[in-house]
Amino acid sequence: MRFDKLLRIGFPALCVTLTLFLGANASSLYRAQADYLHKDQLERSVLIDALGFNTKTLVKLIARYGALKSPEDAAEARQTYETLVTAFETWPSDAYSEIVGPSDYIQQKLINIVYASNRVEPYLDALDDQTSVSNALIILQGIESSLEQINQMVTEEAGAQMAAARNTFHFHQIVQDVLVVAFLLASLGWIWFANRRSQMLQRQLDTSREQTDLLEHRLNHDSVTGLINYRIFAETVRSAHEKLSDGQTLSILNIDLESRLPAINKFSLATEEAILTSTADLLRHAVDRMEGENCLARSGGKGFLLMTISDEDLGLTASVIAKRIHDIFLRPVPTTVGSFLISPAIGYADSSTVERDAADIIRNADLAVSNAVSYSRRRVVTYEPAMRAEMERRTIVENALARAIEANECLPHFQPQFNLMTGRIFGVEALARWYHSELGWISPSEFIPIAERNGDIVSLGWKILETSCSEVQLLPVDLSLSVNLSVAQILSDDVVAMLDECLGRTGLPASRLKLEVTETTLMSDLRRIQTTLSELRSLGIGISLDDFGVGYSALSYLTEFDWDEIKIDRSFATKAVKDKKLRDILKMVLGIAETMGSQVLIEGIETVEQRDVLVDIGCTIGQGYLFGGPMAIDDITTLFFSDHSRSTLAGL
Ligand code: C2E
Ligand code: MG
Ligand code: MG
């Protein structure tokens, strides 16, 4: 760069310097040329004048008069003489002195010539005398000879000066040539440099243009799939929505991979990217074959967004497209790292709803997919206006939860647990309850998942545990206490110490406490959780497997740990009445539990019929609305001692 700068300044500076030199040298050259031409002329004038000084003519005229005595010759001789004398007398002042220069020798010669010429005059007056003729001729011949000498000297000097002038002229010519060549070279260099520089600038411009394009591409596209990103998608939808004509419908589909592929979070980044890339390719392929105007994009999370615009007569409704997309994933998706069965959740909405804004349609599809992910067992969900109200409620709940936990607004209620054979309460399960000033009672099924998502579940869990331990410890009877433990709590490093401290603080004996964990909890990190549960068990706390038989149920979980209790999900209580197969499974589970030394508790017993069927199978303990729902601790005491409690059970 420094070299460039040097050239950028150096070349023009060199050219300017050379131009100045050229100009200066040109004027020297002209001067030298003028000198040269001037000397030439002088040389010639000296010669002409010298010849003009026709001494010889005078000599000839005098000699002829001496011989022939012709008066014309005498007159002509006199006239010539006068001219000569006049010329001689004017010598010191005119150009001759300049010609002869400051040479003393020549000056002396000229003085002698003037003197000698004056001596001729008396002889001219006496030309009839032969001696005068001879004397005049002798003096004139002397003058002639002196003039010849001067002429020769002047000529030689003029020649020398001419030669010097010629040399100077040649020198300046050469300098001029050299300067011209140098100037040309410098100019060529400058042109070359300027050209090189402009090429370099062009290259830099091209590179920066490429980089700008690349940056723009990165800004607008997802780096994994190459699809446009959410921002560009939203802009595309907005402009398409503005141009939407009558009879056209704009549909938005939100295709979410994350929720329906729980294991995606356990994949390595490379696997996850391979799955996303292949899914994007599949979708791209499907969209390419789709009628109407389409736009596929990567959503903010692990999913995709699709916009379609279709005319009424095409019949390509959002639900048809959703079905098509759904069907693509019925087969495993081949990726570079193997094939995966992906069942994305699909939520969709279209422009036929009351929302007139493009952003609202995208949000509706978003709501629909959230619904599919969190609250619905269906994979494809269409937007319904109620979802908006749900979402608003969810937002209120989300925003108020942390403060509610802090303000002890979330407190435990207790659901009694009964011995189905004796009809006596033997324990209670603590279930969180939250009374919101505007929304009223909020179910844990609503706020527990929110607390789990935002991390509030840990503080909530410890508060429920601490409060329920203190309250149950104060009961006048020795009932056992079951408390639900979230995965985040179990995975906390200090879970064992926390529980130990809690028991110490509240005074509840460890043997009265049971902690309930679900199968999904175990799935997050089986080995670690097994270790923690063993440590808790060694404190004397009972460990219960909650909601067995629901969701990802696997018999293997029964044997993964020495459960003190297995709680059968409430769906069994309902279905067992009519379903013999289910009753058989239940019997089998009872058998396994007996072998393992675990007690089995049936949840959700709502009717006497259900209770009887379950007792028939061999179930001995249970909980459910038949005996009592979650209630305040005082109500538990009342229930325990009330006749109602006993009369309910008297029907056994
Ligand atoms: P869960 O631990 O399986 O609790 C049993 C749920 O079944 C309770 O719902 C209870 O009210 C309900 N239930 C009891 N008997 C019947 C019945 O006869 N029929 C029907 N249909 N339902 C019955 P709840 O209180 O809404 O709690 C829902 C879930 O929220 C709980 O399921 C538990 O997983 C979670 N949860 C509640 N409190 C806490 C807590 O303090 N910590 C944690 N981590 N989770 C909690
Ligand atoms: Mg429970
Ligand atoms: Mg349960």
Q: Mind listing the pLDDT tens digit for each residue in 58-78?
A: 888 888 888 888 888 888 888
pLDDT computed for residue 298 by the predictor? 96
Q: Let me know whether 361 and 417 are in one domain.
A: no
pLDDT computed for residue 577 by the predictor? 94
Please return the burial class of 494, using the count of CB atoms within 10 Å of its CB with bins 0-12, 13-18 and 19+. exposed
Q: How far apart are the first and last CA of the chain?
A: 99
Atom 45 (ligand 1) nearest CA: 484
Q: Let me know whether 173 and 70 are in one domain.
A: yes
DSSP codes of every residue in 552-604: S--THHHHSS--SEEEEPHHHHHHHTT-HHHHHHHHHHHHHHHHHT-EEEE--
The CATH number of the domain holding residue 249 is 3.30.70.270
Nearest residue to 305 (alpha-carbon basis) of 349, 248, 357:
349
Q: Which residue has the tokens 């002047």?
A: 154
Name the phi and psi angles at 233, rounded to 5. Answer: -60, -45
Q: Let me know whether 100 and 151 are in one domain.
A: yes
pLDDT computed for residue 15 by the predictor? 73
Token couple for 347: 């939520």
User: Ligand 1 pocket test: which of 484, 489, 516, 636 has the largest number of ligand atoms within 8 Å of its C-beta?
Assistant: 484
- Number of Cβ within 10 Å of residue 283's Cβ equals 22
Assign 649 to helix, strand or coil. helix
* Å from CA of 335 to ligand 1 middle: 41
In a domain, 18, yes or no: yes
| Residue ranges of the chain whose pLDDT lies below 50 | 44, 47-48, 51, 262, 643-645, 647, 649-652
Q: Let me know whether 136 and 276 are in one domain.
A: no
In a domain, 397, yes or no: no
Question: What residues are neighbours of ligand 2 (ion), with CB under 5 Å?
Answer: 484, 516, 546
Atom 27 (ligand 1) nearest CA: 444
Ligand closest to the CA atom of residue 449 = 1
Q: Let me know whether 249 and 369 are in one domain.
A: yes
Q: Let me know whether 239 and 169 are in one domain.
A: no
Asked which of 149, 171, 196 is the last residue of a domain, the reply is 196
Atom 13 (ligand 1) nearest CA: 604
The enclosing H or E element of 441 equals: strand 440-442
Q: pLDDT digit string (tens) for 344-388?
A: 999 999 998 776 789 999 999 999 998 888 765 668 999 999 998
DSSP codes of every residue in 326-355: HHHTTSPEEETTEEE----EEEEEETTSS-
In a domain, 336, yes or no: yes
Which residues have a Cβ under 8 Å from the Cβ of 335 and sit 6 or more positions away? 271, 274, 275, 277, 278
Q: Which amino acid is at 12?
A: P
Q: Let me know whether 428 and 497 are in one domain.
A: yes
Token couple for 425: 């309460």
Q: Let me know whether 234 and 192 are in one domain.
A: no
| In contact, 302 and 342? CB cutoff 8 Å | no
Atom 28 (ligand 1) nearest CA: 445
Q: Let me know whether 465 and 585 are in one domain.
A: yes
Q: Which residue has the tokens 């909890």?
A: 521
Which residues have a Cβ under 8 Å from the Cβ of 244 and sit 6 or more positions away? 250, 309, 351
CA distances from 238 to 233, 235, 414, 451 (A): 9, 5, 52, 35
**Domain that includes residue 248, residue range:** 230-385
| In contact, 536 and 543? CB cutoff 8 Å | yes
User: Ligand 1 pocket test: which of 417, 431, 603 has the largest number of ligand atoms within 8 Å of its C-beta?
Assistant: 431
- Number of Cβ within 10 Å of residue 178's Cβ equals 13
Atom 3 (ligand 1) nearest CA: 547
Q: Let me know whether 417 and 508 are in one domain.
A: yes
* Å from CA of 420 to ligand 2 middle: 18
* Å from CA of 431 to ligand 1 middle: 6
In a domain, 606, yes or no: yes
Q: Which amino acid is at 541?
A: I
Nearest residue to 418 (alpha-carbon basis) of 641, 644, 602:
602
User: DSSP assignment, residue 477?
Assistant: S
Ligand closest to the CA atom of residue 567 = 3
pLDDT computed for residue 384 by the predictor? 92
* Å from CA of 81 to ligand 3 middle: 159
Atom 19 (ligand 1) nearest CA: 604
Burial of 337-364, coded b for 16+ CB within 10 Å and e otherwise, reads eeebebebbbbbbbbeeebeebebbbbb
Q: What's the total number of domains in the chain?
A: 3
pLDDT computed for residue 551 by the predictor? 60
Q: Which residues line ligand 1 (CB under 6 A)?
A: 415, 431-432, 443-445, 448, 461, 464, 484, 486, 516, 546-547, 570, 603-606, 623-625, 629-630
- The helices-and-strands tally (H runs, E runs) of the chain is 23, 16
In a domain, 401, yes or no: no
In a domain, 303, yes or no: yes
Atom 35 (ligand 1) nearest CA: 444
pLDDT computed for residue 96 by the predictor? 59
* Å from CA of 492 to ligand 3 middle: 22
Q: Let me know whether 555 and 477 are in one domain.
A: yes
pLDDT computed for residue 417 by the predictor? 97
CA distances from 545 to 98, 204, 367, 474, 620 (A): 137, 68, 33, 26, 17
Mean pLDDT of the chain: 86
Nearest residue to 55 (alpha-carbon basis) of 99, 91, 88, 95:
88
Burial of 566-597, coded b for 16+ CB within 10 Å and e otherwise, reads bbbbbebbbebeeeeebbebbeebbeebeeee
In a domain, 216, yes or no: no
* Å from CA of 131 to ligand 3 middle: 173
DSSP codes of every residue in 68-129: H--HHHHHHHHHHHHHHHHHHHHTTTSHHHHHHTT-HHHHHHHHHHHHHHHHHHHHHHTTTS
* Å from CA of 609 to ligand 1 middle: 22
Q: Let me know whether 578 and 475 are in one domain.
A: yes
pLDDT computed for residue 31 by the predictor? 76
Please give the angle made by the CA atoms of 428, 429 and 435, to the nearest 5 degrees: 115
| In contact, 241 and 361? CB cutoff 8 Å | yes
Nearest residue to 596 (alpha-carbon basis) of 558, 649, 629:
558
pLDDT computed for residue 284 by the predictor? 95
Confidence (pTM): 0.62
In a domain, 323, yes or no: yes
Token couple for 359: 């952003």
Token couple for 227: 């699809």
